[in-house]
C-alpha cells in the first residue's frame, strides 16, 4: 500500500507503459519541459526525452490529427488536451476519422490512441474552461470513454486504455488531481468496461461516475444515519457501458437516481435514465430521477459555480424525497 495522489497515479501509469513499450509516446501542449498543465507529465521528458514526450504548437486539431496518424502507423500515442472544452475543435480528427477508421478500413487498421483531457468545475475557470462534455464523446460510435473517480482507477483505467485497440477518450476531473488515497497497485480491480459497486444498500441505487462518485458516497453516509441504505455504482467507463451491473442492482432495489455533473438536457444522465426505464421498467417502484448540472454556462463565481452542479447536500435531499414513502411506511 502507498499513499499517492490522483495526479501521480496518472503519471505512474504513463511511466510504466512507456517503460514497457517503446511505441507509447506523449504529445500535446506543454507536456514536455513544463510537465503538463496539471503536472501529470512532470519528469517524463527528462526520463524519456523529446522524441517520446513531444511539445506541440497551440493547435488541438494538429495534436489529435498527428496522434491519429501515428496510431494508424502502429504507434500508441497518448495525446493531451489541456481542457475538454477544446474537444470541439478536434471533432473532425476525433469523430470523423479516429472513431470511424476501423470501420472504413474493414478492420484492417485501427487507431490505438488515448486522448487525455480534463473537465468539470471547481477551479473558477469560467464558462469556456469548466464544462463536462462527455456526452459529445458518448454520442459518437467508435470512441471509448473512461472517467476515473478514484486514485486506483486513475492508474488502472489509464493502463487499460493504453492497451485498447480503439481510440479512448480519457477524461480526468480537474477537482480530483490532488486527492490522495492508499493504493495497492497489485490488487485486483474491475476489468475494462466493468462498473464498481462502491457501497451496497437496499433502499436506493445511485448510478454515477467521476467526481460525483464522491458526492454520492458522502450523501450515502449521511443517509445511513437516517436509516437509508444506498447502493452507489461507479460506472468507471461510459463506453463500454456496464448496464448488467446497473440492471442487477436496480431490479433488486427498485429505486434509482442517476447523478452527473454535466448539463441535464440531452446528457449522459438522460441516456442512463432512458436505458434503465427501458430495461428495468417492471422492477421500478418510482420513475428514475436525474440529478445533473444546470443548463447554463458555468460562472467564474465560486458560489454560482458550486451550485450549478450537484453537491453532496443536493444529492442527499433528492434521495430523501425519493425514498420518503418507504422510510415512513
- The catalytic residues are 60, 129
The secondary structure of 215-280 as a DSSP string is HHHHHHHHHHTTT--EEEEE--EEES--HHHHHHHHHHH--EEEEEEEESTTSHHHHHHHHHHHHH
Q: Which of 172, 298, 195, 315 is nearest to 249 (CA)?
A: 195
Q: Which residue has the cell 445511513?
A: 224
Q: Which of 168, 172, 210 is nearest to 309 (CA)?
A: 210
Beta bridge partners of 119: 173
Beta carbons within 10 angstroms of residue 304's beta carbon: 13
Q: Which three cell numbers stand for residue 308?
A: 450549478
Q: Where are the alpha helices (DSSP H) in the chain?
A: 6-20, 44-48, 60-72, 91, 101-104, 134-138, 151-161, 212-224, 243-253, 268-280, 302-306, 312-322, 324-328
Amino acid at each position: 500500500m502507498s499513499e499517492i495522489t490522483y495526479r501521480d497515479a496518472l503519471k505512474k501509469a504513463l511511466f510504466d507503459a512507456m517503460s514497457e513499450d517503446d511505441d507509447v509516446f506523449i504529445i500535446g501542449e506543454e507536456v514536455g519541459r513544463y510537465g503538463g498543465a496539471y503536472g501529470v507529465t512532470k519528469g517524463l521528458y527528462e526520463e524519456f526525452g523529446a522524441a517520446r514526450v513531444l511539445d506541440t504548437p497551440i493547435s488541438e486539431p494538429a495534436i489529435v490529427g498527428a496522434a491519429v496518424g501515428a496510431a494508424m502507423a502502429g504507434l500508441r500515442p497518448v495525446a493531451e488536451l489541456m481542457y475538454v472544452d477544446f474537444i470541439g475543435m478536434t471533432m473532425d480528427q476525433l469523430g470523423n476519422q479516429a472513431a470511424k477508421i476501423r470501420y472504413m478500413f474493414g478492420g484492417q487498421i485501427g487507431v490505438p490512441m488515448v486522448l487525455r483531457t480534463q473537465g468539470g468545475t471547481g477551479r473558477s475557470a469560467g464558462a469556456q474552461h469548466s464544462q463536462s462534455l462527455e456526452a459529445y464523446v458518448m454520442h459518437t460510435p467508435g470512441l471509448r470513454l473512461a472517467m476515473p473517480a478514484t486514485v486506483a482507477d486513475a492508474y488502472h483505467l489509464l493502463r487499460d486504455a493504453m492497451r485498447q485497440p480503439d481510440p479512448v477518450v480519457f477524461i480526468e476531473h480537474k477537482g480530483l488531481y490532488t486527492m490522495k488515497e492508499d493504493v495497492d497497485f497489485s490488487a485486483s480491480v474491475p476489468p475494462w468496461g466493468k462498473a464498481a459497486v462502491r457501497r451496497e444498500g437496499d433502499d436506493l441505487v445511485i448510478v454515477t461516475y467521476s467526481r460525483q462518485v464522491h458526492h454520492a458516497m458522502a450523501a450515502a453516509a449521511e443517509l445511513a444515519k437516517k436509516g437509508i441504505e444506498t447502493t452507489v455504482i461507479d460506472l468507471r467507463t461510459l463506453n463500454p457501458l456496464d448496464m448488467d451491473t446497473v440492471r442487477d442492482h436496480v431490479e433488486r432495489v427498485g429505486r434509482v437516481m442517476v447523478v452527473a455533473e454535466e448539463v441535464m438536457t440531452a446528457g449522459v444522465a438522460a441516456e442512463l435514465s432512458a436505458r434503465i426505464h427501458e430495461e428495468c421498467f417492471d422492477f421500478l417502484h418510482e420513475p428514475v430521477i436525474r440529478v445533473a448540472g444546470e443548463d447554463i454556462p458555468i460562472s467564474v463565481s465560486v458560489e454560482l459555480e458550486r451550485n450549478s452542479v450537484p453537491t453532496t447536500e443536493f444529492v442527499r435531499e433528492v434521495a430523501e424525497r425519493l425514498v420518503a414513502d418507504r422510510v415512513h411506511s
